[in-house]
Amino acid sequence: FLLRDGLRAEAEWRARAVARRPAWPRKMMASGLTGIGVALAAWSGDGGIIGAALYGLAASGLHVAAFGIDPMSDKRIEGVDDHQQDRVAKVVDEAESYLAQMREAVSALRDRRLDERVTAFQARAREMIRTVERDPRDLTQARRYLGVYLMGARDASVKFADLWSRNRDSAARAEYESLLTDLDANFAARTETMLLSDRTDMDIEIRVLRDRLAREGVVAKSEEGNE
C-alpha cells in the first residue's frame, strides 16, 4: 500500500503546476521495507548476515530502479512569491480533498450515471484549479468556489449517498443531479470570467509596452536629427 499511495501522490504532484512535495516518502519507505524483507528471508536460509545484507541492498536498489524515488521538492511558478504560491497550494489541496471525498461518497453507490456526472463536475472544477495554478492572481476570484462551494458539494454528496442507499428517494436524486448541473454551469462561467480577465490584463500590458516603445522611437529619431 505504501508503493500504491506513493505512486498516486507522485502522479498528483506531476499533474499540478503548483504542488507541495509528498509529506511522507512512501516509495522510498516501500523500497526500504522490501530490502529488509528480502534480507530477513535470506538470513533465515543458508546465507550469513553479509549475504543477507547484500540481497536486501540489491532488492532495494531494484525497487528504486523500477519505481523511482518520491518527489523531493515543491513545484513553484517563477515570478510569483513564495507566500502567494503557498496560499494557492493550500487552497488546491483543500479543493482536491473535497473532490476526492465527493467521489468516494458517490462511487459507493455503484451507479454508473451518477459516477459520470460527478466525474464531469470534477473535471470542470479542476479547470478552475489549473487556471489558478497558472496565474495565482485569480485566487481571489476562485477562493469561494474552491472552498465554500466544494465543501457544500461534498456535504451534499455524502448526505445524498446515505439517503439513496437507504430508500432510493427519486426526488432526492433529481435534486442532487440538478445541483450538479448548477455547480457545473457556475464553475464554467467563473472560470471563463477568470480567463477573460487574464486576457484583459495581457492586452493592457501589451498596450503599455507598445506605448513605451513608441516613445522610445520618437526619442531615438529626435536624437538622430540633433546629430
| Residue pLDDT, tens place only, 156-211 | 999 999 999 999 889 999 999 999 999 999 999 999 888 776 566 565 566 666 66
The single-letter code of the amino acid at 219 is V
Instruction: Give the domain ranges of the chain.
Output: 2-67, 82-200
End-to-end CA distance of the chain: 77
Residue 79: pLDDT above 60?
no
- Model confidence at 223: pLDDT above 80: no
Under 8 Å between Cβ of 209 and 143 = no
Lowest mean pLDDT among 52-61, 82-91, 176-185: 82-91
Q: For a pLDDT cut of 90, what percent of the chain falls above it?
A: 33
Q: Greatest CA separation found in the chain?
A: 95
Share of the chain above pLDDT 70, in %: 77
pLDDT at 45: 60
Distance CA(56)–CA(134), nearest Å, equals 43
Give yes or no for residue 222 having a pLDDT over 60: no
The span from the CA of 178 to the CA of 155, in Å, is 15
Which of these ranges, 78-92, 106-120, 145-159, has the smallest mean pLDDT?
78-92
Rg of the Cα atoms in the chain: 26
Strand (E) or helix (H) holding 107: helix 82-107
